[in-house]
Amino acid sequence: MGDNQAGAGRALGIITLVVAAVLGSTYVLGRSLVPDAPHAGSTVTATGADHPEYADQPEYADQSAPDDTDASQAHGAETPAPQSSDGTPQDSNTGPMGTWVNTGTTGVALTFDDGPNPDFTPQVLAILRQYRVTATFCVVGKNAQAYPWLVQQIVDEGHTLCNHSWDHDVTLGARSAEWIQADLLRTSEAIRAAAPDAPIAWYRQPGGAWTYSVISVSRDLGMAPLHWTLDPSDWRTPGAKRIASLVVDGAQPGSIVLLHDAGGDRQGTVDALHRILPELTSRFDVQALPNRGL
């Protein structure tokens, strides 16, 4: 009798262990199918955080994206705003999280990020001068501090300025509001040290990695968050012909075009401007964004 009871007890114990194992596996599987809740202040869009040319620079070393990321999708290429029948943008405020991706007019705006740079910025300025075109320069604070005469030249030649963070920190938006504010203020101070009276109406987050925090802080500091409509991926140095073709073929009324005058070898971008500018100026009014947020 005792042996029968012991055997029954062992059988019951085995059955209990099997049932527990099955239930545990089911729970783990179910949890794996449920997405994690978003964290407050997390990056909602992180487009364009793929600048391999910065990999050997400590301040830009965090800008790698998965190898299979499509260039045009990664950097937010061609995000046109709705347009009316006459080509006038209906709503310029259509970018990620309320950022600006459209000029609000039928004109086109060229923007140049990551400078100034003593090798490429003067060449860009010379070509813009040749075609009587103004543009918007999204300036990195460290570069503004290093090359203040170029910031002054940008302003003197009628171009507008945009704050692009102190050292191109793609993860800036994930930091505390106090950290973000200090970074943006430090950048604006470096810009104003070079060009004391120049307005800074815009802020562009490196990599397009926008968060609610960085947008809120930039607006509190009087800067409108600036995204883009069209990115020819010149940061990947595909060559002047490819850059020019993507801009010329992709530009539409209201487009904000993302280009670079620093952050790597930008000679391809410089050379592409010799085709881009005559083509665009024959079709659009190509001017800098205004010295005030749209």
* C-alpha to C-alpha distance for 205 and 227, rounded to whole angstroms: 8
Overall residue count recorded for the chain in this entry: 294
Q: State which amino acid sits at residue 279.
A: E
Backbone angles phi, psi at 181, to 5 degrees: -60, -45
Contact status, residue 106 vs residue 253, Cβ threshold 8 Å: yes
Catalytic residue among 113, 169, 183, 261: 113
Query: What does the longest C-alpha to C-alpha distance in the chain come to?
Result: 106
Q: How wide is the angle at C-alpha 31 spanned by C-alphas 25 and 36, nearest 5°?
A: 160
Strands 109-113 and 160-163: unpaired
- Is 197 among the catalytic positions? no
Is residue 142 within a helix (H) or strand (E), and if so which, with residue range? helix 141-146
Is 113 a residue of the active site?
Answer: yes
Helix (H) or strand (E) holding 162: strand 160-163
Q: Which of 169, 227, 260, 261 is catalytic?
A: 260
Spatial distance between the Cα atoms of 201 and 198, rounded to a whole number of angstroms: 9
Distance separating alpha carbons of residues 115 and 190, to the nearest angstrom? 13
Partners of residue 139 on adjacent β-strands:
163
Helix (H, G, I), strand (E, B) or coil at 190: helix
CB 141 within 8 A of CB 116: no
Peptide bond into 116 cis (omega under 30): yes
Q: Which residues are catalytic?
A: 113, 260
